[in-house]
Amino acid sequence: MQSLFPEKEHLNPQIFDDSTEEMLKHAQSLGIETVFDKQAKSKCNFGSNGVCCKQCIMGPCRISERSNTGSCGANADTIVARNLLMMVSRGTAAHSSHAFHIASTLLKTAHNSTSFKIKDPQKLLSIARKIKIDTSKGIENTAVLTATQAISDILSDKTTMKFATSYYPASVSENLQNLGVFPGSVGKELLEAGHETSMGTMADHTALILHAARMGVADIASLIISTELQDVIFGLPIPFFSKIGFNVLDIDKVNVVVHGHVPLLSEKIVEFSEDEELLKKAMSLGASGINVVGCCCTGNELLMRHGIPLVGSNINQELVIATGLVEAFVVDVQCIFPNVENVVKKFHTKLISTMKEGRFQSAEHIPFEDENTDETAKKILNAAIENFPKRGKKIFLPKDEPKDMIAGFSLETCVGLLSRINQDDPLKPLIENINNGNIYGIVLLAGCTNPLVSEANHVSIAIELLKHNVLIVTTGCAAQSCARAGLLTPDAAERYAGDKLINVLRALGEISGLGNPLPPVWHFGSCVDNSRVINLISALAEKLGVPIKDLPVAASAAEWVTEKAAAIGTGTMAMGITVHLGVAPPVLGSPAIVSLLTQKSEELFGGKFIVEADPIEASRMILEHIRKAREKLGLSGSAAMTVNDSLPVKEPSKPATIEVETKMPEPVIQHPPKLTG
Ligand code: NFS
């Protein structure tokens, strides 16, 4: 058979994770094309620079040596800025549609018309107090008012989003308001963006970019709505031991992969996978049980609350099916490659779509409504079970065992853990350790995995930064990359954390009851859960009384792919956080826009974009940004460091300031009730 990978350079064997490479070879041997081949063939360079305009049918036009404007005279700056605003808007539409769905579910749940419960009334009360909603008339009424406020933030004709004004530090809101980039409702922003980007309307590229920033800020508020209200319905994340890898699929069981982002139905699939009737039926057909595993961000959501193992990130989805072991590949919305339709045709796997926004020509569509999730979950599990006897002989798993990991961090997890050190002022120990340099800075590794850069960049950056005592928090597919590389384990702390950070991790591991250091990379959940990190950073800024832009923090989306990542990155930057991008956004065709995003933005927002493909150089730039922030705050340990400074010391040079004042508590990290592998 002709190789699908005649030139294998883009799969650098040194940096590509072994299991993925093994699965790729297997898929290749079956003649299956995946994103790895398709991207190399399809990528368009004009589009990459952002200078392609499809706004009207005098075009499509593109800026080239032959013409420096489109047919209507729109120049590269206008075209690039318009394209960027449309990209950020689509990402925001996806996130806010998710937020709208969750808020509606909470509203219906409060009216008792779903099978969901208000699982965490305390969280609901804390949200309500934060957005200044009356809590005096009972939990159901509070839920109705909170959900209604969220829906109004998404769809009404308002001038400010309450979830933004209430959650962002005052200094951030004030700056955004002064710049005229504080969002009204998301719907209003989307409507205006659609209008402005239509042919012959907005031709001021600065106004378009400022609107992109306003949209990004609205996007972050949408994330906050989704995360906060999901916690109310499903409960807070709990630190869990779990596993990641293709081999979390179980040869003896009915394997159900849940993929996408909105965890409403998948929560029910997990719940009913333990239903006795269904288990009996699975066993009667020769299986030893039902094994639900997660892909992408739906997987991250289930991991955070139930310890459900992860089978893969966005670039693994086709390969998961190519194992031949998946009875049902159940998708909700977002980041689902249409190619999964082609791959399932080679196997017995049923592709089951479940939401009206995410349909496929040949998939079986089993839609769920909030009112019938139980029945739909059972129907899907039945379909998976009945498919088990049809499993073919073309099954394959890579030889590597799944990797261990600990996940389930959140602002509440951190505060809960730290309150074991200082009950009255939980953030104080964290701040003391940032002040004295035991924690040199905090960096969020977020976003997708990208087939062009393989899985190495998140991991390389994490390892470089850890050496320099930077604490890593991570979400989304980036978290999965780090997990696959074994970075979410106590061993990784001993191996990679710098000489000061390791003391902090050891102390925290001790007070958590783990008996080992905490992992040096903290998994904060799905991409939507970037809001948890924003909330942590906001809490630190407010506690220290400094704007976010002055904190020794940064974010990195080293392998970003989607419009949603563009929205989160833009919103994060507008809040004052410097964001590294490992893949250039489609703006290089306009030097004016490049300058706005990478330089002028710092004057306006305090945050800026750093674009650097090389992970080691990117780490150096991030460290330099943190060094400057520390210097400005007058913190110790601000001397220049480069990534060449080797800091392999594993013995503590001086003890961390964390002291355990309380009696040793019960362990807080749990084993999930069921684990494969
Ligand atoms: Ni976020 Fe990237 Fe998708 Fe999740 Fe993964 S691709 S933008 S990380 S699954 S949303």
Q: Which CATH number belongs to the domain containing residue 566 in this structure?
A: 3.40.50.2030
| Whole-number pLDDT of residue 15 | 44
What three-state secondary structure class fits 128?
helix
**Ligand 1 atom having least distance to the Cα of 478:** 8
Give the Å distance between the CA of 220 and the centre of ligand 1: 15
Pair (197, 254) in one structural domain = no
Residue ranges making up the domain that contains 313: 240-390
Pair (312, 439) in one structural domain = no
Pair (225, 270) in one structural domain = no
- C-alpha–C-alpha distance, residues 487 and 496, integer Å: 9
Q: How confident is residue 669, by pLDDT bands cut at 50, 70 and 90?
A: low
Q: How confident is residue 647, by pLDDT bands cut at 50, 70 and 90?
A: very low
Does residue 9 surpass a pLDDT of 70?
no
Residue 24: inside a domain: no
Average pLDDT of every residue of the chain? 91
Output the ligand 1 site: residues, CB below 6 A: 296-297, 313-314, 335, 447-448, 476-477, 527, 561-562, 564-565
8 Å CB contact between 95 and 357: no
**Ligand 1 atom having least distance to the Cα of 527:** 1
Residue 663: inside a domain: no
Residue 657: inside a domain: no
Residue 45: inside a domain: no
Tokens in use for 646? Answer: 């080797």
b/e sequence 163-197, b meaning 16+ C-beta within 10 Å: bbbbbbbebbbebbeeeebbbbbbbbbbebbeebb
- C-alpha–C-alpha distance, residues 128 and 311, integer Å: 36
Contacts of 7 (CB under 8 A, 6+ apart): none
- Testing ligand 1's pocket by substitution, the residue of 219, 297, 449 carrying the most ligand atoms inside 8 A of its CB is 297
Give the Å distance between the CA of 247 and the centre of ligand 1: 21
Does residue 639 surpass a pLDDT of 90?
no
**CA nearest to 229, candidates 110, 348, 56, 312:** 110
pLDDT per residue as tens digits for the range 116-161: 999 999 999 999 999 999 999 999 999 999 999 999 999 998 888 9
Give the Å distance between the CA of 314 and the centre of ligand 1: 7
- Testing ligand 1's pocket by substitution, the residue of 296, 532, 579 carrying the most ligand atoms inside 8 A of its CB is 296
**Ligand 1 atom having least distance to the Cα of 448:** 2
**CA nearest to 525, candidates 575, 477, 454:** 477
How many CA atoms lie within 13 Å of 568's alpha carbon, on the beta-carbon side?
Answer: 31
8 Å CB contact between 22 and 247: no
Q: 3-state secondary structure string, 498-558?
A: CCCHHHHHHHHHHHHCCCCCCCCEEECCCCCCHHHHHHHHHHHHHHHCCCHHHCCEEEEEC
| Whole-number pLDDT of residue 636 | 73
Pair (228, 244) in one structural domain = no
Contacts of 424 (CB under 8 A, 6+ apart): none
pLDDT per residue as tens digits for the range 400-428: 899 999 999 999 999 999 999 999 999 99
Can you tell me the mean pLDDT for 602-621? 96
**Ligand 1 atom having least distance to the Cα of 526:** 4
8 Å CB contact between 109 and 91: no
Give the Å distance between the CA of 178 and the centre of ligand 1: 32
Higher pLDDT, 386 or 641: 386
Give the Å distance between the CA of 375 and the centre of ligand 1: 28
Q: Which of 234, 249, 272 is the last residue of a domain?
A: 234
**Ligand 1 atom having least distance to the Cα of 300:** 4
Residue 50: inside a domain: no
Q: What total number of domains does the chain contain?
A: 3
Residue 34: inside a domain: no
Pair (545, 623) in one structural domain = yes
| Shortest-distance Cα residue to atom 7 of ligand 1 | 565
Does residue 192 surpass a pLDDT of 80?
yes
Can you tell me the mean pLDDT for 457-482? 97
Contacts of 89 (CB under 8 A, 6+ apart): 189, 190, 193, 194, 197, 215, 567
Enter the pTM of the model.
Answer: 0.92
| Shortest-distance Cα residue to atom 10 of ligand 1 | 527
Give the Å distance between the CA of 568 and the centre of ligand 1: 11
Q: How confident is residue 45, by pLDDT bands cut at 50, 70 and 90?
A: confident
Give the Å distance between the CA of 83 and the centre of ligand 1: 21
Give the Å distance between the CA of 558 and the centre of ligand 1: 12
Give the Å distance between the CA of 354 and the centre of ligand 1: 19
Does residue 677 surpass a pLDDT of 50?
no
Pair (114, 201) in one structural domain = yes
| Shortest-distance Cα residue to atom 2 of ligand 1 | 448
